[in-house]
Amino acid sequence: MSVINFNIAQWRAWAPGLESVDDWQAWSRQPVVLASSDAAPDVSFLPAMQRRRLSRLARMAFSVGWPLADGRQDLPLVFISRHGETPRTFDILSDLATEQPLSPTQFSLSVHNAIIGLWSIMRGETSEMTALAAAGDGLEHGMLEAAALLSEGAPAVLLIVTEEQPPKAYSSWIDDVPFPYAVGLLITPGNDWQLSLNSASDELSNAQWPHALNLLRTLLGQQTTCQHAWKNRVWTWQRNL
């Protein structure tokens, strides 16, 4: 069994229609699939020319991460997305299928580490940054990365998990994004939380909600334990009150 300890100093989250703590409190008490929406988060803290380059996935990441990074320099970033820029990638593939010329800008912004590159440029941030494309337990793999950075002396690590609503063409294969969402966590050293990994003898069923949203429900509620299973891995989040 592997165990890491840490504190969640602050958090931010965004989904269409869910922006404030009260919004997320209400959703966590009665979680529902949100109606399809083209809404995007407010990133007016960025200059207009910079905003124009950001997809909704990038805007979601910036909207939850920027306030958490406010006033902090040399803040390592762990960015996690299982599916990444699926709408942008689908547009590129559609152009290829119809033999249309490809946009170099679209391609450069479709790669998985494009968002952390934009983050580095727009914030002037040169500390360690990682972009993970993990499986259904990407949040936990991101936490392991954050714990490693803390153990190397980082005073805090910013962890961002975000998923975009995939195009309908992918609906037969992508079933773990009920609606677009982003969750940002400011991770610091401490013992408020413990994350442990065990192996399951049998493959367990997937949770109804993505891991990051289930953790958010735990943060907002009174529960002290949150358990996630993916394939033969069982992750247990324990809050020490």
- Residue 101: predicted pLDDT: 85
Mean pLDDT confidence for 19-31 = 95
* CA–CA separation, 139 and 145 (whole Å): 10
- Residue 205: predicted pLDDT: 60
The pLDDT-based confidence of 1 (bands split at 50, 70, 90) is low
Answer for the pair 176, 195: CB distance below 8 angstroms, yes or no.
no
Mean pLDDT confidence for 8-24 = 96
- Residue 204: predicted pLDDT: 60
Q: How many alpha carbons lie under 13 Å from residue 215 in its C-beta half-sphere?
A: 27
Q: Higher confidence at residue 32 or residue 106?
A: 32
Of 67, 98, 46, nearest in space to 185 by CA: 67
Can you read off the two tokens belonging to residue 202?
Answer: 């049998």
Q: pLDDT (tens digit, 9 = 90+) per residue, 47-101?
A: 888 888 889 999 999 999 999 999 998 999 999 999 888 888 888 888 788 888 8
Domain count, the chain: 1
- Residue 202: predicted pLDDT: 61
Answer for the pair 208, 11: CB distance below 8 angstroms, yes or no.
no
Which distant-in-sequence residues (6+ apart) come within 8 Å of 35 by Cβ? 16
* CA–CA separation, 76 and 155 (whole Å): 9
- Residue 61: predicted pLDDT: 96
Q: pLDDT (tens digit, 9 = 90+) per residue, 131-185?
A: 999 888 999 999 999 999 999 999 999 999 999 988 888 888 888 899 999 999 9
- Residue 172: predicted pLDDT: 85
Q: pLDDT (tens digit, 9 = 90+) per residue, 192-229?
A: 999 999 877 565 666 789 999 999 999 999 889 999 98
The pLDDT-based confidence of 15 (bands split at 50, 70, 90) is very high
Given a cut of 80, whether residue 4 has pLDDT beyond it is yes
Report the CATH number at residue 110.
3.40.47.10
Structural domain range at position 188? 2-239
Given a cut of 60, whether residue 25 has pLDDT beyond it is yes
- Residue 203: predicted pLDDT: 57
**217: helix, strand or coil:** helix
Given a cut of 80, whether residue 11 has pLDDT beyond it is yes
- Residue 27: predicted pLDDT: 96
